[in-house]
Structure 1
Amino acid sequence: MLKDLDFREATQDDLPEITSIYRDTIRAVNSKDYSEEQIEAWSSGADDTKKWQNRIKKHYFLVAEYNNQIVGFSYLRQGFYLENIFVHKDFQRQTIASKLLRIMESQVSINGNDIIKSDISTTALDFFDSHFYDVEKKQKKSFKGQVFDIYIVFKEL
């Protein structure tokens, strides 16, 4: 567990670190559950700079920092829909994702919602299960010519 972990809202200046974490984490961590073609398609989502700039601008978007380095991020869409919890590949299993998740759950409550939902990967299933999320349904999602198993999970707050 890391001490001196800080959380703050993301800025446009954080974009290179955020997209790097996104790409590298998919390639290093999610590769155990997905094919090489799926990993390439999914990780290429980091290249859409305009989309990432928009996410930072429009959503409640947090970064986790350790020693002035961004080591994780997450954001909420529509005040209750959790998008992306990503933790740097070299900082896995150090409670960063759990802390980000708790902050996001609190923000959902502050926003006046009593349920948080998310679309998650197969890789993230055990993490969300350990935080008392239920699977609403499993579905297929197509992205850049690849089909992914995605789970919609939720938790009553």
Structure 2
Amino acid sequence: MPTPTELIIRPYQESDAEALHALFYHTVHNVNRRDYTDAQLAAWAPDAVDMLFWRQRMRGIQPYVAVYQNLQVGYADIQTDGYIDHFFCHWQYQGQGVGKALMQHLFEVGTELQVPRFYAHVSKTALPFFQRMGFETVHEQQVTMRGQLLTNYLMERLA
């Protein structure tokens, strides 16, 4: 279990792209499987990946990366309006403080950006974590992804 002094949160680097994709893919398929079907998981995180698109996506959102013993164990971003697009913790490091440290970092960045609120589209699986971090559900929603209907929640926390 990483201690706060062992966990480093730093800006995204281009060399993180492949490791963050693997983290995303395996977390979706190992953690979210208790709340979504195999077809939904495959739509959310398909086996085939366009790494050029992924790299562009990461460059676009500029996430912060949580690193423990030279391993990327989580990543999350915050946009200038307070939107959190990606928030993922390595499936083998769930419940060890990585998510909390990342969220606290986002809160600090959001304060610097003077965002009025933090908001995200949150999976069924991540709902309890976001609630513990002070977010409230605005509404449940259905989104279509690669032909599959997935339930998630628009959640927000006022700054």
If the length of structure 2 is used for normalisation, what is the TM-score? 0.92
2:151 corresponds to 1:141:
no
Deviations, residues 16-63 of structure 1 (Å, cap 9, x unaligned): 110000000001000000001001111128823233322332334111
Deviations, residues 60-107 of structure 1 (Å, cap 9, x unaligned): 411100111111101123441012211111111001001101111111
Q: Which runs of 5+ in 1 are unaligned?
A: none
**Cα separation, partners in 2 of 1:123 and 1:104, compared to 1, 3 Å:** same
User: Partners of 1:150 and 1:156 in 2: how far apart?
Assistant: 20
Deviations, residues 102-142 of structure 1 (Å, cap 9, x unaligned): 11111112112121000010001111111111111111100
Q: SS of the counterpart of 1:77? A: coil
Q: Which runs of 5+ in 2 are unaligned?
A: none
User: Partners of 1:110 and 1:58 in 2: how far apart?
Assistant: 20
**Quick one: percent identity of the two aligned structures?**
24
| Contact residue 117 and residue 156 of structure 2 kept, 8 A | yes
1:129 to 128, 131, 141: 131
Larger strand share, 1 or 2: 1
Count the aligned residue pairs.
Answer: 157
Q: SS of the counterpart of 1:29? A: helix
| Contact residue 119 and residue 152 of structure 1 kept, 8 A | yes
Aligned to 2:68: 66
Q: Alignment RMSD, CA only? A: 1.5
| Contact residue 73 and residue 93 of structure 2 kept, 8 A | yes
Q: SS of the counterpart of 1:136? A: strand
| Contact residue 80 and residue 108 of structure 1 kept, 8 A | yes
Q: SS of the counterpart of 2:45? A: helix
Aligned to 2:82: 80
2:13 corresponds to 1:2:
no
Q: SS of the counterpart of 2:78? A: strand
**Cα separation, partners in 2 of 1:106 and 1:13, compared to 1, 3 Å:** same
1:57 to 37, 56, 59: 59
Structure 1 residues 45-54 or 124-133, which shifts more?
45-54
User: Partners of 2:64 and 2:43 in 1: how far apart?
Assistant: 25
Aligned to 1:36: 38
User: Partners of 1:144 and 1:55 in 2: how far apart?
Assistant: 17
Aligned to 2:29: 27
User: Partners of 1:152 and 1:69 in 2: how far apart?
Assistant: 30
User: Partners of 1:33 and 1:132 in 2: how far apart?
Assistant: 22
